[in-house]
């Protein structure tokens, strides 16, 4: 079953949202590590 344009658009947006979410998680992780190292 071929994907319609709507499906392609939705999938692209979902991938973008997923990447943004992963980026935020990594950012918080790095900030936490830096704060812990600064506190020691």
* Residue range 8-26, pLDDT digits in tens: 899 999 999 999 999 999 9
Q: Write down the pLDDT at residue 39.
A: 81
Residue 33, CA distances (Å) to 7, 16, 19, 20, 21 in order:
39, 26, 21, 20, 19
Q: Specify the number of domains making up the chain.
A: 1
pLDDT class for 1, splitting at 50, 70, 90?
A: low
Measured CA to CA, the distance from residue 23 to residue 25 in angstroms comes to 5
pLDDT for 40 beyond 90: no
Domain, as residue range, for 6: 1-40
pLDDT class for 38, splitting at 50, 70, 90?
A: confident
């Amino acid at each position: 079953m071929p994907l319609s344009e709507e499906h392609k658009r939705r999938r692209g947006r979902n991938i973008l949202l997923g990447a943004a979410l992963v980026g935020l998680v990594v950012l918080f992780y790095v900030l936490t590590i830096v704060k812990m190292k600064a506190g020691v």
